[in-house]
Amino acid sequence: MKFAKTKLAAAIAAATMASAANAVVVVGGDNGWSVSFDGNVNAFYTYMDQDNTSTQCTNAAGVGTACVGTTVSHMSVKGEQSSRVHSGFLPAFFSFNVTSPTVNGLTGKARFSFAPTIQRNKSSNGVNLDTSGGTGLTGATIDTREVLAAVDGSFGEISFGRTLSIYGRQAILHDMTLFGVGNNTNNPDFGTVTAGRIGIGYLYPDFEARFAWASPAVNGFKLEVGAYDPVEPGGLAGGPSTQQTDTPRFEGELTYATTFTGGDVLLWVDGMWQSVQKIPSNLAGATFSEDLTGVGGGANLNWNNVGLTGYYQRNDGTGLLFKFPGFGAGASILGSSYNCDTPGATGVNGGVGTGTNCKTSDQDEWYVQGTYTFGGKTKVGVSYGEANQDGNTVTVGTGVPFAEVQNTMWSVGVYHDLTSWLKLIAEYNNVEQRNTLNLVGLTAGPAGAGIRTKVEGGYDSFSVGAFLTW
């Protein structure tokens, strides 16, 4: 897939290699090889105002003493106000691009992208800033986002290495908060990049190892499929050591692009599939196999000065993670990927867990966005998105369920191109989070007890920042 012909798009280091035409510096030789460089530096100031976090925890008798994470039936934790200077949703980038001469109709390309952030975690001990937690002077992160090679020919493009995954990538690349801040996961002390609409509109495609093939464009249609290094999801007792993945994860995307007088349109559908098996360490011979799946579709329309984007995806076995300050002893509530009964544990109904009774989380995410560009330089946009995860209960043993979750975010942003290489940004985000856990028949609780923990929170944030790109 060719990169969009803008310096900002080159700075994203999105789907595959940027062309040499995007770069400021192109170095060539008599043998036909060329090397180019592109990148960006960005910084934001963000003021964040957390809501008070409300926690309600009750058992079947309406008494809060058997609750998980707290010993009171109701509590409210005061939200934090925070000022940060930090990298935005995108880190800084410095990227190297190499292009080979064309030989027998084949052209080779390679790309390396390094992505540092400017801020560290806020924590330090005031004496030795270089702490073991990586939160001192060395706390700023640097990530090797892309290590990728590709060969172009009449057959399309074959690529191998690490780059942005296929499933969900169009959603993230058309998200206006890509050049802003978006969601910071309700964490005022974050030490890495922010999250944009990740978890409130789409799953993060992430930068992962893969082999992929992209077809040539035919009448506006283009297909890309890839085989990826598989993941072992959270939520299973014993963690990854009791899981196995005997096949790759497969992802694919079909796009249709066309232009018309005054505008253009892009339509796409995408999906993923992966199998996960588990062998409980304390129950020899018992196994199960579950699928991690996802399917989505979206559209991006640009007409004169108006831009419209929409995306929806449905996922199974992926799970959402949400952070709530002050829950119990400051713990977070997790939306896990898988939930299994505990092998050998006895529930209050007399059932005995086998480790094979497992469920996968079901969730959907979507967002809609509208923008208007004034004078070709100033884009104003509004977007809204949600993520919703179905919860389930634990009826045997002491396994932990995944929660019922609703996460929403409103975003309003102004993105102004002061020059061809300098962009100024102002953005407001409002995030609301609701998370409910239901536990039934736990051996750790009273006989017949049903425990319900409901947490609500959120925050408002205002950010101003700048991008310098080359």
Contact 202, 168 (CB under 8 A): yes
User: Which CATH number is 97's domain given?
Assistant: 2.40.160.10
Please report whether residue 2 resides in a domain.
Answer: no
Res 80: pLDDT? 87
Place of tokens 């060395």: 138
The pTM score is: 0.85
Closest CA to 211 of 249, 244, 245: 249
3-state SS class at 205: coil
Lowest mean pLDDT among 61-70, 91-100, 110-119, 231-240: 61-70
Closest CA to 67 of 78, 59, 75: 59
Place of tokens 């975003």: 411
Burial of 105 (0-12, 13-18, 19+ CB in 10 A): exposed
Name 250's bridge partners.
227, 273
Name 410's bridge partners.
384, 430
Task: Name the pairing type of β-strands 221-228 and 243-244.
Answer: unpaired
The sign of the torsion formed by the CA atoms of 37, 45, 48, 137 equals positive
User: Domain of 278?
Assistant: 7-469
pLDDT at 67 > cutoff 60: no
Q: Tell me the per-residue pLDDT of 137-157, one tens digit each, with 9 for 90 and over.
A: 445 677 889 999 999 999 999
* Other Cβ atoms within 10 Å of 461 Cβ, number: 24
Place of tokens 């950010």: 463
Distance, CA of 354 to CA of 139 (rounded, Å): 43
The pLDDT-based confidence of 330 (bands split at 50, 70, 90) is very low
Please report whether residue 1 resides in a domain.
Answer: no
Buried b (16+ CB within 10 A) or exposed e, 425-448: bbbbbebbbbbbbbbbbbeebeee
Res 170: pLDDT? 97
Distance, CA of 89 to CA of 93 (rounded, Å): 12
Contact 342, 336 (CB under 8 A): no
The pLDDT of 386-396, averaged and rounded, is 75
* Other Cβ atoms within 10 Å of 83 Cβ, number: 9
Please report whether residue 296 resides in a domain.
Answer: yes
Number of domains the chain contains? 1
Q: Tell me the per-residue pLDDT of 423-446, one tens digit each, with 9 for 90 and over.
A: 999 999 999 988 877 665 444 444
Res 138: pLDDT? 47
Task: Name the pairing type of β-strands 93-99 and 107-116.
Answer: antiparallel
